[in-house]
Homo-oligomer: A and B are copies of this chain.
Amino acid sequence: MTKHELDKSRSAAKYEARARIIKAMAHPTRLMLVDRLSTGECCVRELTDLVGADISTVSKHLSRLKEVGIVEDEKRGLQVWYRLRIPCVMNFFGCVESVLESNCSIECVRKPK
């Protein structure tokens, strides 16, 4: 493997690592979970009520967030409590919001052919 190829694979790996994290946020339910957790920790039951899906579905979404390090969990008695590991994750929203706002002013984006 040449130095150039090595550099290339290294940076490819870096983009993959970043993408894995962003992918974990890339679902409406998981965004909702992160949004809720940004206001404080929460147990699975309460998150399930919020989301309105099967508890097994919510549990899987939470594992996905946990897997990439966005949230962490702690068992207390029968319940498992989840919390955000990286509060700055919420910065995503501000940025995403500006894309949305910007889209409103561009016809071709609002109504893609």
- Classify the interface of chain A: helix, strand, loop or mixed: helix
A28: chain B residues at CB < 8 Å are 12, 15-16, 18-19
Count this chain's copies in the assembly: 2
A112: chain B residues at CB < 8 Å are 67
User: Binary interface profile of A, 78-111, with partner B (CB < 8 Å = 1, else 0)?
Assistant: 0000000110110111111111101100100100
Distance in angstroms from A92 CB to nearest chain B CB is 6
Q: How large is the interface on A (under 10, 10 to 19, 20 to 34, 35 or more residues)?
A: 35 or more
Asked if A88 meets B93 with Cβ closer than 8 Å, knowing A28-B16, A31-B22, A112-B67, the reply is: no
Which of B94, B96, B102 interacts with A22 by CB under 8 Å?
Answer: B96
Distance in angstroms from A60 CB to nearest chain B CB is 14
